């Protein structure tokens, strides 16, 4: 039975049945972005995180630190030299010394050392180390036993090939995997130190000063600037889609929305690219990176 309400003229009006909750609580409508529009929420969060990291890099580059006071060209040369040294050295102590040096550079440059160390060594170097685990075994590279994994009573035969009955990790394989792990992590650390302590315009200017062709520098600069605009445009589109979506979407509807969003983003990106280029030309851009900071040597 419908409940009775009072209208503006004082007369009683009947409320629809779907508005009558009786003595029970009204049904709760989930507004969780994670539960209703998981793919939209993830896309928005990832794009906002990318923008936040870009702004954070510019923030650290403007701080008063040891590396921030050095010219961008000198930093680029030193970073490349350390990366080459880490890739060519066969001394474990040299690699450890380079790691200690990068940690000290982070501390003296007012960078979040612990956060950067977790992000650097906990992803790409770790994955590289895990992928090299099969190469540590004696089935791939023979060597002195270090850790016994298992022993087969009968030698296994795989595709007509007799496999050794003992499976163990070799000292040579573990050493080689450790060298790969340290080299990848140190190279990544040097690159992150360079980008976090150097403004993007100064870094591009230093590339031009080292003899890189002007066309390549211009392409890198345009890609960097355009990606930021493209991220902002994508966030606006996905947030607009999320605000206009009610209820749970089926998998087919999600695929259709993603496909239409990609097509619309591609069309808008073409128009935006032309607008960005015209704006840069109108402001006197000639293809040469121009910066205010004079610390390029």
Name the domain boundary from 178, 196, 214.
196
Paired tokens of 135? 């190469």
Residue 98, pLDDT score: 93
Q: pLDDT tens-digit profile of 167-183?
A: 888 888 888 889 999 99
Q: Report which listed range, 29-38, 180-189, 256-265, is most confident.
A: 180-189
d(CA 204, CA 212): 10
Mean pLDDT computed over 91-109: 92
d(CA 5, CA 89): 84
User: What pairs with residue 161 in β-bridges?
Assistant: 158
Q: Is the predicted pLDDT of residue 2 greater than 80, yes or no?
A: no
**CA atoms within 13 Å, Cβ hemisphere of 26:** 7
Same domain membership, residue 191 and residue 71: yes
Q: 0.85 cut: is pTM over it?
A: no
Name the domain boundary from 158, 176, 196.
196
**CA atoms within 13 Å, Cβ hemisphere of 2:** 9
Name the domain boundary from 148, 169, 196.
196
Query: For residue 210, which of 82, 58, 69, 71 has the smallest C-alpha distance?
Result: 71
Q: What share of the chain in percent tops pLDDT 70?
A: 74
Same domain membership, residue 126 and residue 40: no
* Position 101 confidence tier, pLDDT thresholds 50, 70, 90: very high
More confident residue, 66 or 200: 66
Strands annotated E in 122-269:
145-151, 157-158, 161-162, 166-170
Same domain membership, residue 180 and residue 221: no
Q: Are strands 4-6 and 12-14 parallel, antiparallel or unpaired?
A: antiparallel
Instruction: Please report whether residue 24 resides in a domain.
Output: no
User: What pairs with residue 6 in β-bridges?
Assistant: 12
The whole domain housing 247 covers 35-60+200-297
Same domain membership, residue 178 and residue 163: yes
Same domain membership, residue 218 and residue 141: no
Instruction: Please report whether residue 16 resides in a domain.
Output: no
Q: Are strands 161-162 and 4-6 parallel, antiparallel or unpaired?
A: unpaired
d(CA 73, CA 202): 8
| CB-count burial class (<10 Å; 0-12, 13-18, 19+) for 106 | buried
Same domain membership, residue 188 and residue 76: yes
Q: What share of the chain in percent tops pLDDT 90?
A: 12
Residue 258, pLDDT score: 73
């Amino acid at each position: 039975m419908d409940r009775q309400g009072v209208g503006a003229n004082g007369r009683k009006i009947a409320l629809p049945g779907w508005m009558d909750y009786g003595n029970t609580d009204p049904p709760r409508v989930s507004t969780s972005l994670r539960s209703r529009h998981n793919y939209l929420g993830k896309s928005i969060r990832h794009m906002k995180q990318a923008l936040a990291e870009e702004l954070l890099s510019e923030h650290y580059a403007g701080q008063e630190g040891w590396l921030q006071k050095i010219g961008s060209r000198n930093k680029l040369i030193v970073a490349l030299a350390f990366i080459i040294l880490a890739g060519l050295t066969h001394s474990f102590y040299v690699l450890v010394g380079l790691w200690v040096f990068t940690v000290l550079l982070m501390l003296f440059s007012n960078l979040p050392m612990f956060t950067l160390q977790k992000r650097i060594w906990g992803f790409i170097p770790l994955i590289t180390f895990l992928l090299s685990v099969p190469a540590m075994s004696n089935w791939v590279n023979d060597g002195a036993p270090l850790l016994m994994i298992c022993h087969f009573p009968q030698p296994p035969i795989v595709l007509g090939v007799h496999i050794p009955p003992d499976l163990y990790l070799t000292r040579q394989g573990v050493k080689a995997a450790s060298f790969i792990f340290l080299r990848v992590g140190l190279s990544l650390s040097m690159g992150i130190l360079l980008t976090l302590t150097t403004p993007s315009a100064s870094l591009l200017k230093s590339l031009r000063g080292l003899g890189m062709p002007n066309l390549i520098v211009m392409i890198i600069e345009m890609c960097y600037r355009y990606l930021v605009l493209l991220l902002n445009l994508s966030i606006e589109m996905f947030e607009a889609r999320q605000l206009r979506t009610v209820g749970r979407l089926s998998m087919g509807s999600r695929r259709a929305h993603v496909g239409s969003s990609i097509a619309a983003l591609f069309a808008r990106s073409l128009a935006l690219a032309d607008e960005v280029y015209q704006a840069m030309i109108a402001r006197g851009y000639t293809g040469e990176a121009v910066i205010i900071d004079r610390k390029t040597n």
